[in-house]
Amino acid sequence: MKNFQVNKYGYFTEDGKEFVITTPKTPAPWMNYIWNGRWAGLVSHTGGGYSFYLTPRDNRLTRYRYNCLPWDQPGRYIYVRDKKIANYFSLSWAPTIELKYDYYECRHGLGYTKIITENLGIRGEVTYFVPRDYDIEIWLVKLKNLTNERRDLDIFAYIELIMGNALNDLINQPNDKHFPDVYFDGDLKSIVATRRYWVTNRGVSVAQPNHAWPYYLIFSTSLEIKGFDGDKEKFIGRWRSNANPEAVELGSCFNTEITAGDPCAVIQSELELEEGEEKEFVFFMFLVDKPSLHTNERLKRNSKAYNKASEILNKFKNLGFVHQKFDELKKYWDDYLKTLQVKTPDEKLNLFVNVWNRYQIAVTFDMSRNAGYYHGGLLFGTGIRDQMQDIFGELIANPKRVRDRILEVCSYQFKDGSMLHNFFRISRTGEKTGHCDTPLWLPFGIITYLKETADFNLLYEKVEYYDGGSGTVLQHLIKAIEYSLNNLGKHGLLKFGRGDWNDTLDYVGVKGKGETVWGSEFLAYILREVIELFNYLGLKQFLKKYSEEYLKIANNINRFCWDGKWYIRGFKDDGKPFGSSKNREGKIFANPQAWAVISGIADEERTKMCLKSVEKYLDTPKGPKILHPPFTKVDPSIGLATRCVPGKKENGAIFNHVASWVFLAELIAGNAERAYQIYHATLPLNNAIDADLYKMEPYVYSEYVTSPDHPSFGEASHSWLTGSSDWFFKSVVEYMLGVRPTYAGLLIDPCIPSSWKSFSVNRLFRGVEYRIEVLNPDGVNKGVKEIWVDGKKYGDRILPVF
Ligand code: GLC
């Protein structure tokens, strides 16, 4: 595909691997991630964003100001100052956004962001990235003199630091500022920064921990260093801002070091550029371990940490090495994407599934709903529910990482089968909220992993329970199910607890009586999957019980929850139904319709009827809504959903996660054309055409798009961290293109638009590349006539494992 212009702000490059933003004044900060699973940063198209190590709440490295004006600040800034004319600009446009630039371009690529600007006759190019195998953040810079005279420049690289607990930074910064130490180490030729005291309290608390932040942060460059600053107040100057730091304006750092105050890291270097000359250099930032949690000493010469720091400094001051790391990063993503490539007649679908949708779910695998522009990384930690859904893309490229994640999640299960709802790495804390679906996502993750890999050894790995003792993964799985089966209410449905998948139905079941239809369908789905697994493995013990329980739950849903044309959403604590035609508002919800089909509890007639009802009541030109009509009156017995404004969030928005399940349900029901229509109605590439309305990044899914029930119909919010990216991907690949992992092998079962005459899927499966070509000469939607494997007709729809 040629460069694909999405809207007036940007386009995809021909190979699809970069999204190029051609004007900085986008309708919102458009983000990207630079990360390797340990060191992580968000980078916007203006250099804005923050970095963290392992976890964004407890170990935030750099500062990003929520609700900042101008927004999207601070960031990773490099100011270039011409000595002769005493004028300067920033290479990432921000924070010097009032200046007139001659050129601006931002290239968001896979794991890197490159910003190119021209100003004052200088062309600057800065590439931000994190290598896969070093926990280091790199800002690789090229400067070119576009004029025909020699230029004498000063370069200032600037970052604002937190080094520790970001929540504490928000609530107690004036006190927290007594603990940072920042100084310049003349031998290492680097800024060294640390914090004498590290708050690891999990919430707002006066309880005091008793330890230091366990690292020294090193900030350095390949250039000779002329000056530095560690004191933000001094560098910026009083009553000034990032747009006009005093040091930059004067052309000279103050060489400040602090043992208390607001920390930053600034390095000043000089650069001469002859007419037309271009030079390249690098700034970088990394951590080394402190020898003890009970020391406030500076980094000691010849200590282990010091030697480690020198070793890394030597490596990364070498531009050849930095380029090698960048090339390796590009190769990493090329190899990653190669593990699944589709070619269909639909170029937009190809671009999304092959590159950006897949990339987005690599991000959700590591960020879950934790660290984004709309998820501050302070409150939720890693949600078990989301984490176990965020594995579909990673699984194909890196099954080992998914395996490790499943083992980690097992360790947050209690002996009785209940679960922490979320967890924070490092502190290994979390909250047990009582959402009824949370325990069941563990079996979901395990089953998804096993179908892909057939690595049944996983089931016999031992993992400790959160409250002590240990059990095999298989025991963890059984406990999750048993816990849920012991948690049924009056109608034999799963009790709602503090919510199910829908967090905003948080008061339906607080008194312990309310029941959820979606949750019960999810339980039925898990039971059906576990029955299939146990059958395959010959694990007889629970088979009979689970088969009976599946039928019971399916019957209960069909008996008590069929409303005539659709399934209700549940029963409240007082036993009254909601999501029913009897209600005045919130009469129909999409979740129970989609999952009635996905879990197989709806017969053919009800499948047809409930999907038709979704089409009739929930459809919009931008996809199906989560419910209708939205709540205009607060219903305290339902909760937050009814407090959201009609048409947004869970109160009637086009909530893409749910839309992806409706899409999947339509595919399972065999309605290819309708499913395809939903796919395109929700595809960001289509909705972002009107960028000023849509606002979010065109290259990733957003959590929701406002529905026609609100005046801002078509506006999206909460981009990047959404389960819709994972489910749209899975549903397209496994149910639309129909190449689906089963224990026995890859099943072929497409459900495609009849206009598609052919398509192909190249996919790595259990270490072997499958090149699958599907021909549709008769223009049907589904049904496989014959299968050929390696030139021979093959009698099964499940391809062999080689
Ligand atoms: C958000 C949450 C997710 C939840 C959904 C619906 O996306 O991260 O966990 O399922 O909202 O409430």
CATH of the domain at 196: 2.70.98.40
Helix intervals (H) in 241-391: 246-250, 304-316, 319-338, 347-351, 357-367, 384-389
Q: Whose CA is nearest to atom 7 of ligand 1?
A: 722
Percent of the chain residues topping a pLDDT of 90? 96
Establish if 49 belongs to a structural domain: yes
Neighbours of 254 (CB within 10 A): 17
What mean pLDDT do residues 573-590 have? 98
Ligand 1 mutation target, pool 384, 386, 390, most atoms within 8 A of CB: 386
Neighbours of 455 (CB within 10 A): 13
- The CA distances from residue 471 to 82, 322, 411, 414, 476, in Å, are 65, 45, 10, 11, 6
Ligand 1 mutation target, pool 360, 369, 627, most atoms within 8 A of CB: 369
Q: Which residue has the higher pLDDT, 202 or 463?
A: 463
Q: Are residue 743 and residue 629 in the same domain, yes or no?
A: yes
- Which of 614, 649, 668 corresponds to the end of one domain? 614
Closest approach atom of ligand 1 to CA 501? 10
Q: Are residue 574 and residue 511 in the same domain, yes or no?
A: yes
122-129 and 39-44 beta bridge pairing: unpaired
User: What is the pLDDT at residue 426?
Assistant: 86
Establish if 584 belongs to a structural domain: yes
Residue 464: closest CA among 522, 402, 422, 414: 414
Cβ pair 442, 384 in contact under 8 A:
yes
The DSSP annotation for 137-178 comes to EEEEEEEEE-SSS-EEEEEEEEEEEEEE-HHHHHHHHHHHTT
User: What is the pLDDT at residue 391?
Assistant: 96
Tell me if residue 782 falls in helix, strand or coil: strand
Which amino acid is located at 499 in the chain? Answer: G
339 Cα to the center of ligand 1, angstroms: 29
Residue 561 has pLDDT above 70, yes or no: yes
Q: Are residue 693 and residue 595 in the same domain, yes or no?
A: no
User: What is the pLDDT at residue 668?
Assistant: 98
369 Cα to the center of ligand 1, angstroms: 8
User: What is the pLDDT at residue 427?
Assistant: 86
Ligand 1 mutation target, pool 375, 423, 657, most atoms within 8 A of CB: 657
CATH code for the domain in which residue 639 is found? 2.60.420.10
Q: Are residue 441 and residue 350 in the same domain, yes or no?
A: no
Q: Are residue 597 and residue 623 in the same domain, yes or no?
A: no
What mean pLDDT do residues 572-584 have? 98
What mean pLDDT do residues 665-684 have? 98
Lowest-confidence pick of 41-45, 174-178, 571-575: 174-178
502 Cα to the center of ligand 1, angstroms: 6
For residue 379, name the pLDDT band (cuts at 50, 70, 90).
confident
- Please give the residue range of the domain that contains residue 494: 488-614
What mean pLDDT do residues 604-613 have? 98
Closest approach atom of ligand 1 to CA 722? 7
Establish if 792 belongs to a structural domain: yes
163 Cα to the center of ligand 1, angstroms: 29
771 Cα to the center of ligand 1, angstroms: 36
Q: Are residue 457 and residue 573 in the same domain, yes or no?
A: no
Closest approach atom of ligand 1 to CA 385? 9
What mean pLDDT do residues 378-398 have? 94
Closest approach atom of ligand 1 to CA 718? 7
Tell me if residue 597 falls in helix, strand or coil: helix
- Write out pLDDT tens, residues 739-789: 999 999 999 999 999 999 999 999 999 999 999 999 999 999 999 999 999
The DSSP annotation for 614-650 comes to IIIII--TT---SEESPP-S--TTT-GGGGSPTTSTT
346 Cα to the center of ligand 1, angstroms: 30
Q: Are residue 68 and residue 175 in the same domain, yes or no?
A: yes
CATH code for the domain in which residue 493 is found? 1.50.10.10
User: What is the pLDDT at residue 371?
Assistant: 93
User: What is the pLDDT at residue 203?
Assistant: 67
- Write out pLDDT tens, residues 437-459: 999 999 999 999 999 999 999 99
Catalytic machinery residues: 503
Ligand 1 mutation target, pool 438, 501, 504, 591, most atoms within 8 A of CB: 501
591 Cα to the center of ligand 1, angstroms: 13
Establish if 14 belongs to a structural domain: no
What mean pLDDT do residues 118-141 have? 98
What mean pLDDT do residues 69-96 have? 97
Closest approach atom of ligand 1 to CA 502? 12
Residue 2 has pLDDT above 90, yes or no: no
Q: Are residue 225 and residue 101 in the same domain, yes or no?
A: yes
How many domains would you assign to the chain? 4
Establish if 324 belongs to a structural domain: no
For residue 209, name the pLDDT band (cuts at 50, 70, 90).
confident
Cβ pair 712, 760 in contact under 8 A:
no
User: What is the pLDDT at residue 205?
Assistant: 74
What mean pLDDT do residues 351-357 have? 98
Q: Are residue 535 and residue 569 in the same domain, yes or no?
A: yes
Establish if 328 belongs to a structural domain: no
- Which of 562, 593, 614 corresponds to the end of one domain? 614
For residue 274, name the pLDDT band (cuts at 50, 70, 90).
very high
Residue 201 has pLDDT above 80, yes or no: no
**Tell me, what DSSP letter sits at residue 753?**
-
User: What is the pLDDT at residue 207?
Assistant: 78
What mean pLDDT do residues 489-514 have? 98
- The CA distances from residue 605 to 123, 556, 673, in Å, are 65, 17, 19
- Per the prediction, the chain carries an average pLDDT of 97
- Write out pLDDT tens, residues 111-124: 999 999 999 999 99
Establish if 398 belongs to a structural domain: no
723-730 vs 357-367: helix axis angle to the nearest 10?
Answer: 130
Residues at CB less than 6 angstroms from ligand 1: 369, 383, 385-386, 501-504, 650, 703, 722
Buried b (16+ CB within 10 A) or exposed e, 73-98: bbbbbbbbbbeeeeebbbbbbbbbbe
Q: Are residue 473 and residue 517 in the same domain, yes or no?
A: no
- Which of 440, 467, 487 corresponds to the end of one domain? 487
> Which stretch of DSSP H or E encloses residue 103?
strand 103-109
Cβ pair 533, 447 in contact under 8 A:
yes
Q: Are residue 244 and residue 143 in the same domain, yes or no?
A: yes
Q: Whose CA is nearest to atom 5 of ligand 1?
A: 502
Establish if 790 belongs to a structural domain: yes
Q: Are residue 465 and residue 498 in the same domain, yes or no?
A: no
Q: Whose CA is nearest to atom 9 of ligand 1?
A: 386
